């Protein structure tokens, strides 16, 4: 085989493998795809828990969860007025359940019901963070709506639900 044919074959093989790799990394389940799309978006941007950041993520969140998260931000603003030295209840990112933002994630198994699914997501921190190499699972509960699958709740590795935390009494 001459050099040009080998080079073209190698280029074609590399392109095929790179395309098939990206296709293979996309979860086949629609609920898992929605969760994956959210965390790709979320981790690539500013993750500070603010109204502006929450607004740009609204399309992936159920109306109930979105309203509760906005309510928490309002509660934190009121707290800052009366107790400016107190730390907010949510330090860090409630959508990854972490104080230090993860570097990446992996979507795992999905338990499907008819209109509700639970998707396991592994949050991953690289060795260069203060956590060192670390990972932790959360379960993202999504519900089917007329517009697609929306994140309705996040369950941490201890079984605590984000919605329950957001509904706590004042």
**Residue 85 confidence (pLDDT):** 80
Tell me, yes or no, whether 153 lies in a domain. yes
Tell me, yes or no, whether 34 lies in a domain. yes
**Are the C-beta atoms of 104 and 78 separated by less than 8 Å?**
no
Give the length of the chain: 170
132 or 12, which is more confident: 132
Query: Smallest Cα–Cα separation from 130: which of 99, 154, 96?
Result: 99
Give the per-residue SS3 of the chain. CCHHHHHHHHHHHHHHHHHHHHHHCCCCCHHHHHHHHHHHHHHCCCCCCCHHHHHHHHHHECHHHHHHHHHHHHHHHHHHHHCCCCCCCCCCECCCCECCCCCEEEEEEEEECCCEEEEEEEEEECCCCCCCCEEEEEEEEEEEECCEEEEEEEECCCCCEHHHHHCCCC
CATH number at residue 59: 3.10.450.50
Tell me, yes or no, whether 105 lies in a domain. yes
Digit-coded pLDDT (tens) for 39-70: 999 999 999 999 999 999 999 999 999 999 99
* Domain of 97, in residue numbers: 28-166
Beta-bridge partners for 134: 125
Tell me, yes or no, whether 19 lies in a domain. no
Tell me, yes or no, whether 22 lies in a domain. no
Tell me, yes or no, whether 123 lies in a domain. yes
Tell me, yes or no, whether 14 lies in a domain. no
Count up the domains in the chain and report the number. 1
What pTM value is reported for the model?
0.79
Digit-coded pLDDT (tens) for 82-138: 888 877 777 889 999 998 899 999 999 999 988 999 999 999 998 876 666 789 999
């Amino acid at each position: 085989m001459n050099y040009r044919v080998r080079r073209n074959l190698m280029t074609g093989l590399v392109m095929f493998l790179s395309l098939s790799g990206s296709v293979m990394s996309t979860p086949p389940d629609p609920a898992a795809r929605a969760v994956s799309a959210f965390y790709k978006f979320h981790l690539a941007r500013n993750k500070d828990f603010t109204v502006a950041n929450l607004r740009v993520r609204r399309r992936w969140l159920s109306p109930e969860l979105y309203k509760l998260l906005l309510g928490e931000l309002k509660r934190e603003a009121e707290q800052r007025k009366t107790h400016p030295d107190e730390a907010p209840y949510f330090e860090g990112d409630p959508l990854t359940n972490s104080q230090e933002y993860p570097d990446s994630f992996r979507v795992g198994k999905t338990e499907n019901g008819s209109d509700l699914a639970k998707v396991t997501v592994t949050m991953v921190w690289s060795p260069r963070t203060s956590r060192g190499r670390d990972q932790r699972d959360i379960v993202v509960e999504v519900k089917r709506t007329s517009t697609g699958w929306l994140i309705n709740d996040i369950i941490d590795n201890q079984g605590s639900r984000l919605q329950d935390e957001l509904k706590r009494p004042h």
